[in-house]
C-alpha cells in the first residue's frame, strides 16, 4: 500500500509542483485485475480502486494495518464509476452495482468479493475506508436515493447537484461520508466562498473526463493557494487545513469522501473572498 504521511501547512507552502503531486495526488487508481490502495495518515483514510476483470478481487489486510482482515477495525465504501456492472458479495449476499451505485460495508465483515459482471466491460470501484469503532449494516444506495443539494447557478459557473450518499441523512457509518457532485453543462466546482473544516480531511476522485481534459484542483491554506493539475480517474488528498475546489478544461464529475470528526456538511468554516490569496 502506498503510504502518504500527513503534512502541515507551514511546510506545504514551500512545496514545488513535483512535491505537491507526490504528497497529495494519486495518479493511478484503477489498474485492470488489481486492488490498488493508498493509506493517508490524514484521518487514516484509505482510498483507491478495484478493477476486477476475469478474477474476483478482495481487500487484503496489508502489513500496515497489522490486523487479521481488512475490515477488523474499519468500514469501507465502494462507488462504481465505470460503465461496467459489478457484483460485490458480502458474507454470501450479492449486491449488483451499476454506475454511481454505492455499497457501504461495516466493521467486522471478513468475507467480501468484488467482481465485474462482464470482463470485457469491467467495473471500476472507487474505494474509501475509514477507521471504525462500531458495526453499521451493509447498505447499497443508488445516486437517485441520495440526499441532494442543488447549488450554484450558471451565471456564476457553478450550477451543480451534490448527492450525499453516506451522510447524516443517508447511509449511516462511523465517520466516513461520501457522495458525488454532478455539474450542469458549462459549470465547474467553483464552490465560492471557499471553505475548510479543520475537523475533517477530504479526498476526491475526478472522473468522466476525456483523455485530454484536465482539472485544476485548488488547495492550500486560504492565504497560500496552490493547484494540482489532474487527469481523468485520478484522486487527490485534501488535508483538513486546505481549501478545495476545481476548474476543468472540459466536463467532469467528482466523488468526495470525508473522514474525521463531526458528521455533517453544515460546519464549514467559510473563507471571505478577500482572504483568498
Ligand atoms: O461543493 C460541492 O459541490 C461539494 O461537493 C462540496 C464538497 O463535498 C465539500 O467540500 C464538503 O465539505
Ligand atoms: Zn469541504
pLDDT tens for 244-266 read 999 999 999 999 999 999 999 99
Ligand 2 centroid to residue 244 C-alpha, Å: 6
Please compute the mean of the pLDDT values over residues 62-81 and round it to a whole number: 97
Look up residue 178 and give its three cell numbers: 461520501
Residue 231's CATH number: 2.60.120.10
pLDDT tens-place string over residues 207-227: 999 999 999 999 999 999 999
95, three cell numbers: 449486491
Residue 192 C-alpha to ligand 2 middle, in angstroms? Answer: 11
Structural domain count, the chain:
1
Give the per-residue pLDDT at 54: 96
| pLDDT 10s digits, 237-246 | 999 999 999 9
How confident is residue 197, by pLDDT bands cut at 50, 70 and 90? Answer: very high
The rounded mean pLDDT for the chain is 97
Hey, which of 191, 202, 269 would you mutate to test ligand 1's pocket, going by the most ligand atoms within 8 Å of its Cβ? 191
User: How many whole angstroms from 106 Cα to the centroid of ligand 1?
Assistant: 24
* ipTM (interface predicted TM): 0.98
The answer to whether the Cα torsion of 77, 160, 213, 19 is positive or negative is negative
Tell me the three cell numbers of residue 173.
457509518
Domain assignment of residue 54, given as a range: 2-275
Q: Is 139 in the pocket of ligand 1 (CB under 6 A)?
A: no
Question: What ligand 1 atom has the least distance to the C-alpha of 256?
Answer: 8
Indicate the Cα dihedral angle 80, 82, 83, 88, nearest 10°.
Answer: -40
Amino acid at each position: 500500500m502506498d503510504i502518504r504521511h500527513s503534512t502541515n501547512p507551514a511546510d506545504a507552502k514551500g512545496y514545488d509542483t513535483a512535491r505537491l503531486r507526490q504528497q497529495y495526488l494519486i495518479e493511478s487508481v484503477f489498474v485492470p485485475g488489481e486492488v490498488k490502495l493508498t493509506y493517508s495518515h490524514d484521518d487514516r483514510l484509505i482510498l483507491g480502486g478495484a478493477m476486477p476483470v476475469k478474477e474476483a478481487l478482495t481487500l487484503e489486510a496489508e502489513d500496515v494495518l497489522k490486523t487479521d482482515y481488512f475490515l477488523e477495525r474499519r468500514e469501507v465504501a465502494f462507488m462504481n464509476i465505470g460503465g461496467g456492472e459489478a457484483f460485490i458479495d458480502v458474507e454470501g449476499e450479492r449486491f449488483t452495482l451499476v454506475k454511481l451505485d454505492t455499497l457501504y460495508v461495516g466493521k467486522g465483515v471478513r468475507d467480501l468479493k468484488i467482481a465485474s459482471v462482464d470482463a470485457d466491460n469491467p467495473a471500476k470501484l472507487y474505494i474509501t475506508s475509514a477507521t471504525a469503532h462500531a458495526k453499521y449494516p451493509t447498505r447499497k444506495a443508488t445516486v437517485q436515493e441520495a440526499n441532494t443539494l442543488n447549488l450554484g447557478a450558471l451565471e456564476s459557473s457553478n450550477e451543480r447537484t451534490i448527492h450525499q450518499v453516506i451522510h447524516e441523512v443517508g447511509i449511516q457509518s462511523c465517520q466516513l461520508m461520501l457522495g458525488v457532485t454532478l455539474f450542469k453543462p458549462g459549470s465547474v466546482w467553483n464552490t465560492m466562498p471557499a471553505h475548510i473544516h479543520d475537523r475533517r480531511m477530504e479526498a476526491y476522485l475526478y472522473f468522466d473526463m476525456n483523455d485530454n481534459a484536465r482539472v485544476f484542483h485548488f488547495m492550500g491554506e486560504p492565504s497560500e493557494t496552490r493547484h494540482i493539475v489532474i487527469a481523468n480517474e485520478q484522486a487527490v488528498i485534501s488535508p483538513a487545513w486546505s481549501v478545495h475546489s476545481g476548474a476543468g478544461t472540459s466536463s467532469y464529475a467528482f466523488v468526495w469522501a470525508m473522514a474525521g470528526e463531526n458528521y455533517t456538511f453544515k460546519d464549514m468554516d467559510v473563507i471571505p473572498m478577500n482572504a483568498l490569496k
